[in-house]
Amino acid sequence: MHPLLGVVIAYLAGSIPSAHIAGRLRGIDLRKEGSGNLGATNVSRVLGWETGVVVLLADMLKGALPVALLPQAVVTGRPDIWAVAFGVAAILGHVRPIFLLGRGGGKGVATAAGVFLALAWLPFFISQIVFFSVAFMTRYISLASLSAAVMLPIAILLWTGNTASPVFIASVLIVLFVFWNHRANIGRLRRGEESKFSFKRKTA
């Protein structure tokens, strides 16, 4: 398989709008409910945490499967570099899904988590410890996501000891990407206006 075909496949996989599908199955357009974001956090707030977990796992698989499977089919180039490229394509698909005309995707955190689960499982789990610790202590999912993103390249560097590795470089770019996509959340956190996460489903 030509690597560029793999990039297209990864992008299409990332474009599957898991949250949008979950909402439509319940007769709800999540782009008009809660935060309006098509991510697992908004799904949990609007549809309940059980559905949120399903969407979270689906979004992670969109990142993990292309990275784990597609490099094995590539016939040219370095598989490690293409694995990162496939991961980036999947994340871009989630954020700008072609199936929603390039609009209304999620922020890419869950799909990026799936990508790095496949690329660097131990640093990924270390970053998730940070995520759940911050989420449990503060109940700010956005702050937990930002903290986990910062921890990821640190853990990868400690794991590989190589600042030139494609995985480390990708992790640094992911930090910038996550912070950019959370700039509105950062503003609300600074003003004390960010919503705290609750396992309780919102009622009308």
Q: Has residue 199 been placed in a domain?
A: no
Q: Count the domains in the chain.
A: 1
Q: Has residue 21 been placed in a domain?
A: yes
- The answer, yes or no, to whether residue 28 has pLDDT greater than 70, is yes
Percent of the chain exceeding pLDDT 90 equals 75
Helix/strand/coil (H, E, C) string of the chain?
Answer: CCHHHHHHHHHHHHHCCHHHHHHHHCCCCHHHCCCCCCCHHHHHHHHCHHHHHHHHHHHHHHHHHHHHHHHHHCCCCCHHHHHHHHHHHHHHHHHCCHHHCCCCCCCCHHHHHHHHHHHCHHHHHHHHHHHHHHHHHHCCHHHHHHHHHHHHHHHHHHHHCCCCCHHHHHHHHHHHHHHHHCHHHHHHHHHCCCCCCCCCCCCC
Mean pLDDT of 65-79: 87
Q: Has residue 204 been placed in a domain?
A: no
Mean pLDDT of 54-60: 96
Q: Has residue 148 been placed in a domain?
A: yes
Q: Has residue 197 been placed in a domain?
A: no
Give the largest CA-CA distance in the chain.
55
Residue 186 in tokens: 């950062």
Q: Has residue 18 been placed in a domain?
A: yes
What average pLDDT does the structure give for the chain?
Answer: 91
- pLDDT value at residue 199: 56
Measured CA to CA, the distance from residue 142 to residue 189 in angstroms comes to 9
- The answer, yes or no, to whether residue 23 has pLDDT greater than 90, is yes
Q: Work out the pLDDT band at 72, boundaries 50, 70, 90.
A: confident
- pLDDT value at residue 69: 94
Q: Has residue 28 been placed in a domain?
A: yes
Q: Has residue 144 been placed in a domain?
A: yes
Percent of the chain exceeding pLDDT 70 equals 96
Domain range for 82: 3-191
Mean pLDDT of 122-143: 94
Q: Work out the pLDDT band at 203, boundaries 50, 70, 90.
A: very low
Mean pLDDT of 53-62: 96
- The answer, yes or no, to whether residue 53 has pLDDT greater than 90, is yes
